[in-house]
């Protein structure tokens, strides 16, 4: 997750274990709730990237190919996040 | 769009509109800052790993200590602290070095918080007049120092001048003023609220003793947030630690800095600043492109008959004051919506941030807009002008 957020600060911190900086993989076992929490943050962060695309393309929202590809990837990743959450918490 | 909770609207104007609000442009968050707020919004979130010596700028996880060190390098100063807004930076400096009755030199375009910071310390502001181009020069500053010396019988305790002012976005001669300050041996605070975070700033190259910046104006950070930086010569004074001892308990809090009131900018605001910092370091290198964009915009804007730019030209900053008294205000005189017609027309084109209802002198800021958005904006003003019969060259 730290790498996905993406900045030198997070990368630096990941040298520390357990890493407290926007990084869920702390030493508490890989239980179900931890996975779902991680997926929730990942979805929120991905949707934040989508928010940024709205900001960059307003008010016409004419997306170029690169932006369209970014949106596709965001939607795909959020869908995966939600599926995992559904799988772990509801089913 | 639904409210978050009773009456608190979901604020989506940055996603839905081109926002030309004069003070909001460069404080818009980076995506990383928005993510940081999601994860670090809880109150004392920065304190998870606070260990001895129990001070915010000494915390290593998240790397707040390292951020301070990097930030000092970035602004070309020896010591830096984060504060709740530039105003608290002014206050830390004035409270440390201005005594009751001391004159303090400020610009005739000084922000009101500079006045208040001087007043809070018991000082008296003395304003340097503007030249005919609305610029503060080194010569005018030197003359003001001489006037104050003659009148008060002592030199000013501090010179506090804005790099770019809030009224016109004009650049003032801070390098020349720093030299004057040195000649008179008066400390110089350079207010970089509109420049630190959007363009390269190096305090030592300027020759400043203090640099103050604004997180929410120019550093893609939430309000309140700001920066106060100092040379090592002044750091011990401004960032002095407490000497107080409780008379009953004998308690003392030796590491805490008096002007910072201990820990300063905690929680999500600080982490958002830190999260924006990598992008800030990159975006200051692209300042020239921002200047090109505002100059493109004003050139198109001036094609509308009657439009004027009150700020210095060509533009050196994206914050710009314009005058539409002889164009849009003429329309407003007979329009049923009076001055609000312009806001209505802009809003219909998904543009906002102008002073609502203003059709005479008003300010805008194009910082951060893409070239497509800049062209859209320029075209929108021309389209509105044509619609109301104003000639567009």
* pLDDT tens-digit readout, B46-59: 999 999 999 999 99
Decide if A58 and B15 are in contact by the 8 Å CB cutoff. Answer: yes
Residue A19 pLDDT greater than 70, yes or no: no
> What is the pLDDT averaged over residues A12-29?
45
Tokens of residue B312, six digits:
């210095």
Mutation pick from B20, B29, B32, B376 vs chain A, by most beta carbons of A within 10 Å, is B32
Q: Which domains does chain B have, with CATH numbers?
A: 3-27+286-387 (3.90.1150.10), 31-283 (3.40.640.10)
Residue B297 pLDDT greater than 90, yes or no: yes
Long-range Cβ contacts of B305-311 (<8 Å, 24+ apart) = B305/B385, B305/B390, B305/B391, B305/B392, B305/B393, B306/B330, B306/B390, B310/B168, B310/B361, B311/B134, B311/B168, B311/B169, B311/B170
Number of H helices, E strands in chain A: 4, 0
Whether B46 and A20 have beta carbons less than 8 Å apart is answered as no
Chain A residue whose CA is closest to B15: A55
Higher pLDDT, A34 or B296: B296
Where are the domains positioned within chain A? 1-27, 31-91
- State the greatest distance between any 2 C-alpha atoms of chain A, in Å, as a whole number: 47
Mutation pick from B10, B12, B25, B31 vs chain A, by most beta carbons of A within 10 Å, is B31
Chain A residue whose CA is closest to B17: A59
Q: Give the separation between CA B48 and CA B68, rounded to whole angstroms.
A: 18
User: What one-character DSSP code corresponds to residue A65?
Assistant: H
Residue A46 pLDDT greater than 70, yes or no: yes
> Which ipTM was obtained for this model?
0.94
Predicted confidence at residue A4, as pLDDT, reads: 42
A6 and chain B: CB distance < 8 Å anywhere? yes
B348 and chain A: CB distance < 8 Å anywhere? no
Give me chain B's average pLDDT, please.
97
B103 forms bridges with which residues in the sheet? B124
Q: Indicate the range of A31-45, B101-115, B298-312, B376-390 predicted with least confidence.
A: A31-45
Decide if A58 and B350 are in contact by the 8 Å CB cutoff. Answer: yes
pLDDT digits (tens, 9 = 90+) for B218-270: 999 999 999 999 999 999 999 999 999 999 999 999 899 999 999 999 999 99
Q: In degrees, to the nearest 5, what angle opens at C-alpha B195 toward C-alphas B183 and B119? A: 60
Q: How far A5 CA lies from chain B's nearest CA (Å)?
A: 7
Q: How far A72 CA lies from chain B's nearest CA (Å)?
A: 18
Residue B82 pLDDT greater than 90, yes or no: yes
A44 and chain B: CB distance < 8 Å anywhere? yes
Predicted confidence at residue A3, as pLDDT, reads: 43
Residue A20 pLDDT greater than 90, yes or no: no
Q: What percent of chain B clears pLDDT 90, i.e. is strictly above it? A: 99
A48 and chain B: CB distance < 8 Å anywhere? yes
Predicted confidence at residue A91, as pLDDT, reads: 82
Residue A23 pLDDT greater than 70, yes or no: no
B215 and chain A: CB distance < 8 Å anywhere? no
Label the pairing between strands B210-214 and B3-5: unpaired
pTM to 2 decimal places: 0.93
A13 and chain B: CB distance < 8 Å anywhere? yes
Phi, psi of B128 (to 5 degrees): -80, 125
Q: pLDDT grade, residue B152 (50/70/90)?
A: very high
Report chain B residues whose CB lies below 8 A from the CB of A21.
Answer: 61-63
Q: How far B211 CA lies from chain A's nearest CA (Å)?
A: 24
pLDDT digits (tens, 9 = 90+) for B207-229: 999 999 999 999 999 999 999 99
Residue B190 pLDDT greater than 50, yes or no: yes
Label the pairing between strands B210-214 and B188-191: parallel
Label the pairing between strands B308-309 and B226-230: unpaired
Tokens of residue B215, six digits:
């997180």
Q: In degrees, to the nearest 5, what angle opens at C-alpha B124 toward C-alphas B165 and B122? A: 115
Q: pLDDT grade, residue A31 (50/70/90)?
A: low
Predicted confidence at residue B39, as pLDDT, reads: 97
Predicted confidence at residue A14, as pLDDT, reads: 40
Residue A15 pLDDT greater than 60, yes or no: no
Q: How far A20 CA lies from chain B's nearest CA (Å)?
A: 7
Label the pairing between strands B319-323 and B361-365: antiparallel
Q: Give the separation between CA A7 and CA B202, rounded to whole angstroms.
A: 23
Q: What is the DSSP string of B157-180?
A: SEEEEESB-TTT--B--HHHHHHH
> What is the pLDDT averaged over residues B47-75?
96
Q: pLDDT grade, residue A30 (50/70/90)?
A: low
Predicted confidence at residue A33, as pLDDT, reads: 82
pLDDT digits (tens, 9 = 90+) for B328-351: 999 999 999 999 999 999 999 999
Q: What percent of chain B clears pLDDT 70, i.e. is strictly above it? A: 100
Decide if B17 and A58 are in contact by the 8 Å CB cutoff. Answer: yes
Q: How far A3 CA lies from chain B's nearest CA (Å)?
A: 12
């Amino acid at each position: 997750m730290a790498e996905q957020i993406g900045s030198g600060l997070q990368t630096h911190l990941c040298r520390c274990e357990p890493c407290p900086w926007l990084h869920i993989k702390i030493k508490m076992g890989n239980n179900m709730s931890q996975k779902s929490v991680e997926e929730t943050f990942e979805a929120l962060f991905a949707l934040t990237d989508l928010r940024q695309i709205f900001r960059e393309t307003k008010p016409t929202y004419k997306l170029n190919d690169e932006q369209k590809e970014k949106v596709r990837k965001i939607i795909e990743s959020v869908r995966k996040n939600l599926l995992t959450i559904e799988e772990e918490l509801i089913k | 769009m639904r409210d978050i909770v009773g009456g608190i609207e979901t604020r989506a104007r940055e996603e839905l509109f081109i926002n030309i609000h004069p003070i909001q442009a460069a404080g818009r968050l980076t995506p990383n800052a928005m993510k940081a707020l999601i994860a670090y919004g809880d109150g004392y979130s920065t304190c998870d790993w606070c260990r001895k010596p129990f001070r915010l700028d000494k915390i290593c996880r998240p790397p707040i200590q390292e951020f301070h060190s990097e930030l000092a390098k970035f602004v070309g100063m020896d010591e830096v602290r984060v504060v709740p807004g530039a105003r608290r930076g002014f206050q830390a400096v004035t409270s440390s070095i201005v005594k009751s009755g001391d004159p303090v030199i400020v610009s005739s375009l000084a922000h009101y918080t500079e006045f208040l910071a001087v007043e809070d310390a018991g000082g008296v502001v003395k304003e340097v007049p503007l030249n005919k181009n609305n610029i503060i020069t080194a010569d005018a500053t030197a003359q003001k120092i001489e006037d104050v010396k003659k009148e008060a019988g002592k030199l000013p305790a501090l010179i506090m001048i804005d790099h770019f002012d809030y009224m016109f976005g004009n650049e003032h001669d801070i390098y020349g003023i720093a030299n004057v300050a040195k000649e008179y041996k008066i400390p110089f605070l350079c207010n970089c609220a509109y420049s630190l975070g959007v363009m390269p700033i190096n305090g030592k190259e300027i020759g400043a003793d203090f640099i103050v910046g604004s997180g929410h104006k120019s550093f893609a950070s939430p309000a309140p947030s700001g920066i106060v930086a100092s040379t090592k010569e002044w750091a011990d004074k401004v960032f002095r630690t407490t000497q107080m001892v409780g008379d009953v308990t004998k308690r003392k809090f030796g590491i805490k800095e008096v002007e910072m009131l201990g820990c300063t900018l905690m929680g999500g605001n600080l982490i958002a600043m830190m999260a924006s910092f990598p992008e800030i370091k990159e975006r200051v290198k692209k300042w020239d492109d921002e200047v090109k964009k505002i100059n493109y915009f004003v050139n198109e804007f001036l094609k509308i008959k009657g439009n004027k730019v009150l700020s210095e030209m060509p533009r050196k900053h994206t914050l710009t004051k314009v005058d539409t008294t002889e164009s849009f205000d003429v329309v407003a005189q007979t329009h049923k919506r009076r001055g609000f017609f312009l806001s209505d027309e802009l809003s219909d084109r998904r543009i906002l941030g102008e002073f609502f209802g203003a059709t005479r002198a008003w300010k805008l800021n194009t910082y951060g807009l893409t070239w497509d958005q800049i062209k859209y904006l320029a075209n929108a003003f021309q389209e509105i002008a044509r619609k109301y019969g104003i000639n567009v060259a």
